[in-house]
Amino acid sequence: MDIEKRVKEAKQGNKEVLVSLIMDKKQEYYSLAYAYMKNQEDAMDAMADMIVILYEGLHQLKKETSFYSWSKTILVNCCKKQLKRKKRLINFNNVEEATSGGLGLVEEQLLLERHLSSLSTDHQEIIKLRYYLDFDYNTIAELLKIPVGTVKSRLSIGLRKLKESYGGDFNEG
């Protein structure tokens, strides 16, 4: 069944179809949520928040074909909201270093993560969307609702900052 038809059905309140629409692209959604939340539980929580909002707001979506870009923007907003909430709640516990898939991540990439987390959230976000999720400029612009030009400049500044951050660690090579 094509997406348009299924989205229409989800609009009618069919929860099964709504969940199946998300599950069809579960890797994309989950990777996106994980980029923000950095752990499995929180990534799933963000997706749970998202699906409730989708269910309640689906009738406002005018173009069925934009379901995926629309819902991903909502997911990003859910992640940001959760992160804000977490910031308020957790301040005694050091947030654990992100692990990709649990074990694969060591040394150099831990270091990368550390440098990355020294950047502002905007710069971290743009770098992750570009490199971790392999989104192009237009997709990022659409997702964050900012102009393509801003995406480009923010990314290049982010990369420069990341390089500067590395500068202190690597003096040779």
Partner 1 sequence: MKDNNEIEELLRAKGEKHREIPVPENLETRLHNALEERGVPRKKRQGNRFFKAVAMLLITIIIGYNFNTLAYYGKRIIGYDNIMNTALKELNNLGKGQIIDMSHTFEDGSSVTLDAVMIDENQMLIFYTIKDPKGAAADLNLRADHFVKGLGRRYVAKHGQGEISEDGTEIRWVSSYAPPGFWDRSLSLKFFLQEDGHSEETEMVFKIDREKAMGATLKKSLNIAIKQKETKVQFNTISASPTNTVIEGKLQNTLELLKDHIMGERLRPKAIEFSLIANGEVLRQQAGGMSTNEKGISFRWEFDALPKDLKSLALQIDSVTVDHDVDVSLSIDETTKEKTLEILGQNIVINQLYKEEGATHITISSQEDVLLSRVYLMVDGKRVSLKNTTMEDHIKTESGEIFFTRTLNFPEEGEEYQFIIKSISFMEKYNETIDILID
- Which residue, 151 or 162, is less far from partner 1 as judged by CB? 162
Identity of the residue, 92 or 134, whose beta carbon is nearer to partner 1 in the bound complex: 134
Residue 124 in tokens: 């971290």
Using CB under 8 A as the binding rule, whether residue 78 contacts partner 1 is answered as no
Q: Which of 62, 94, 101, 145 binds partner 1 (CB under 8 A)?
A: 101
**Contact in structure between 155 and 126 (CB atoms under 8 Å):** yes
* Token reading at 145: 């609702």
Please choose, out of 74-82, 83-91, 118-126, 129-137, the segment that lies near partner 1 by the rule CB under 8 A: 129-137
Q: Count CB atoms within 10 A of the CB of residue 135.
A: 20
Selection from 105, 129, 115 nearest residue 160 by Cα: 115
Cβ proximity of 19 and 51 under 8 Å = yes
Tell me which of 48, 90, 95, 148 binds partner 1, using CB under 8 A.
48
* Integer CA distances (angstroms), 139 to 17, 44, 100, 148, in order: 25, 23, 23, 9
CB-CB contact of 75 with 30 (8 Å): no
Among 3, 30, 74, 137, binds partner 1 (CB under 8 A): 30
Contact 128, 82 (CB under 8 A): no
Question: What is the contact mask toward partner 1 in residues 80 to 99, using x (rule: CB under 8 A)?
Answer: ----------------x--x
CB of 115 to partner 1, least distance (A): 9
Binding site for partner 1 (CB under 8 A): 1, 5, 9, 13-19, 22-23, 26-27, 30-31, 34-35, 40, 44, 47-49, 51-52, 55-56, 59, 96, 99-109, 112, 127, 131-134, 159, 162-163, 166-167, 170-171, 173
